[in-house]
Amino acid sequence: MKKTSLGMLTSLLATTAAAQAANFDGDAVGSVPSGWTCGVTGRGSPRWAVAADPTAPSKSNVLMQSGSGTFPWCVKSGTSLADGFVEVKFKPISGGEDQAGGLVWRWKDGDNYYVARANALENNVSLYYTERGSRKTIKYVDAPVARGSWHTLRVEFAGTRIAVLLEGKRYIELDDSHIGGAGAVGVWTKADSVTAFDDFAYGAARP
């Protein structure tokens, strides 16, 4: 796949179609949000459900993962982006093994997708690809991620170019060609992370 320069990435995303958004406020507390599909890569018993949270950036509901599993994920059904962006606000709440909040894109199925995540236990941001159910590290970068606080994680992607931003700052920008073509977008956690998500947004770059 042909590489996409930073300039081309910026140009493509400048013509991104109008963003789609979800804040879970219209969904019943305790339910899986309408139009989302949730599961886990590997093993475990994740629990994805809408929950009330008075600290939510857009009150009053959030999507929360409160179970555990190797890599729990929840994707927006019907989405299919090859190039564009995905963004979410997340709050790492607790977890003994991990306290992670992440985004997935070019999601083909529960075993094949890209993931970017921020970790409050390790204070870093990282980029991976998951292939045939095995997660592979592309890059780690140190970054402050406070537990119990809301953060904004965003990924921009066009061709092979990927940028990962936390609080609007670019921490990772590189080329990778492991997962090509269009796929769904969604959110992700790891292990026993209890994490809340709100204000999920995404948009595809116009051809």
Contact 104, 128 (CB under 8 A): no
Tell me which residues of the chain have a pLDDT lower than 70. 1-18, 207
Among all chains, which residue has been given the structure tokens 């564009």? 84
pLDDT of residue 175: 98
Work out the number of other CB atoms within 10 angstroms of the CB of residue 37: 16
pLDDT of residue 19: 83
DSSP secondary-structure letter at 32?
A: P
Q: In what order do the strands lie in the sheet with 124-131?
A: 36-45, 68-76, 184-188, 100-109, 112-119, 124-131, 134-142
Examine residue 60 and say whether the peptide bond preceding it is cis (omega within 30 degrees of 0). yes
pLDDT of residue 133: 96
- CA proximity to 40, closest of 164, 199, 187: 187
d(CA 38, CA 4) in angstroms, rounded, equals 32
d(CA 30, CA 177) in angstroms, rounded, equals 38
- pTM, two decimals, is 0.92
User: In one letter, which amino acid is 195?
Assistant: T
Go through the domains of the chain in sequence order and give each one's CATH number: 6-204 (2.60.120.560)
Token reading at 49: 């459900």
Contact 82, 13 (CB under 8 A): no
d(CA 87, CA 100) in angstroms, rounded, equals 15
